[in-house]
Amino acid sequence: MQHIDVHKLADEARFNNFHARVLAWCLLVIILDGYDIAVAGAALPSIMKEMGVNASTAGFMASSALFGMMFGAIFLGALSDRIGRRWTISLCVLLFSVFTAAAGLTNDPVTFSVMRFIAGLGIGGVMPNIVAQMTEYSPRQVRSFMTTVMFSGYAIGGILAAVIGKQFIASFGWQVVFFAAGVPVILIPFILKTMPESLSFLVSRQNQRDLSEVVRQINPQLRLDASATFQVPAQDRTAGAPVVRLFQDGRGVSTIMFWIAFFTGLFMIYALSTWLTKLMAMSGYSLGSALSFVIALNLGAVIGAIGGGWLADRFHIKWVLVTMYALGSVFLYLMTFKPSTEVLYVIIAAVGACTTGAQIVAYAYSGQFYPMSIRSTGVGMASGIGRLGAIVAPVLIGVIVSLKLPLQQNFLVIAAAGIVGALALACINHRQSASEKHDLDRTTAAVSAAPANMRS
């Protein structure tokens, strides 16, 4: 009888059209997700003016979506274990598309915040599921690169929000960028039809027909027997409470360190994505110029994500991340000076590379750290706890802005978060990661299988 370890098969596969299709879908969903996250920051100056709210209130309005993202990441991150990853991702797309568009129909801060909170459930819930999907199906040799390419869509979505805002807000009002977020609802039937289901979910349901089809697409050269059975390694099977398992097998301290790193990373990202436009406008730049800085920030994030993923596949992903977080703090500190406009664009792009770009690599690292059976839960919990940083950031920076303190102090506060995040990442015990143990198991198996004279 033919026994096939589906995760080993996926690990050892060569990149083909099937992997390109999975990457394309995941990239598209993350672009939509990134747009929905960035849209409030792009429209914030216009929303403040039209609704007549101060900086502190605007900070709370921006945080409402982030608060929803925290709950979405924690609860919808684990939902795929029950209903499957395709349905969970589709549900998240429905939530963030419909309710972001609905926020454009509001005319008061409370209703706006409620709509954004519900949208946030979908925005936060889609991330751990997409990370788990990409990690599960990516060939091992290019896993970090594929995951970070996918997550570069987050920055592309931010660029899209800034470009649409720059072109249309002045003429049609801030609502137009929110209405545009409703269009992706039409993609849901196509996601359900063409995105593959999680391998672990199919194995747990013993769905032989779908498993055979997916396995053939992963490795077209594989010849399946009629009696072929599919399985996942013992460590990738769910056993016990998944959240408790994040702290088992020596992962406890590292799990806490991931939470701290995600908190500080998302603090930096949302402080910048929410307030950069307003801070630059307060520095004397026009709305169009301020939005251009947001575009530079997100272009840098794309470069940082893809470059960081490339480096992570060739060097130690943990130390690549530590370096990126630390450099993010350095570049944020440089923003406290007053360089020329051209140099400022370069610095802001570098900040994007080492904040948003670094956080994208951090998602890839957390996805590789945990075994498949708790991967969605591990990434979801880190993302959910990290959302506290995302919630605090717009409010804290809003308070600093309302106190009319020097603008430089905003950037120093954000830079301090990067130093804390770098220290937390340095404390992660990489030897307890699933990827490290996988390599050790394969090496042990190869030595055991070698002839006795070769082992001696």
Domain spans in the chain, listed from the N-terminal domain onward: 3-224+233-440
Residue 224 has pLDDT above 90, yes or no: no
- pLDDT, position 387: 78
In our burial notation (b when 16+ CB lie closer than 10 A, e otherwise), range 90-125 reads bbbbebbbbbbbbbbebeebeebbbbbbbbbbbbbb
Q: Hey, which residues does 230 pair with through a beta bridge? A: 4
CB 121 within 8 A of CB 68: yes
- pLDDT, position 102: 92
**124: nearest Cα among 359, 382, 358:** 382
Query: What backbone phi and psi angles, to 5 degrees, belong to 108?
Result: -140, 155
- pLDDT, position 327: 93
pTM (2 decimals)? 0.70
Show the tokens assigned to 220.
């077209």
CB 273 within 8 A of CB 158: yes
pLDDT, mean of residues 284-293: 68
Q: Is 247 helix (H, G, I), strand (E, B) or coil?
A: coil
Show the tokens assigned to 154.
């987050």
* Residue range 344-364, pLDDT digits in tens: 889 889 989 998 888 888 888
pLDDT, mean of residues 162-171: 79
- pLDDT, position 160: 86
Of 353-367, 379-393, 442-456, the least confident: 442-456
Query: Residue holding tokens 């770098």?
Result: 422
Residue 134 has pLDDT above 70, yes or no: yes
Residue 435 has pLDDT above 60, yes or no: no
Query: Residue holding tokens 């690599």?
Result: 361
Angle at Cα 134 formed by Cα 4 and Cα 177, nearest 5°? 155
Residue 145 has pLDDT above 70, yes or no: yes
Q: Hey, which residues does 3 pair with through a beta bridge? A: 229
Domain covering 3-224+233-440: architecture: Up-down Bundle (1.20)
Query: What backbone phi and psi angles, to 5 degrees, belong to 336?
Result: -75, -15
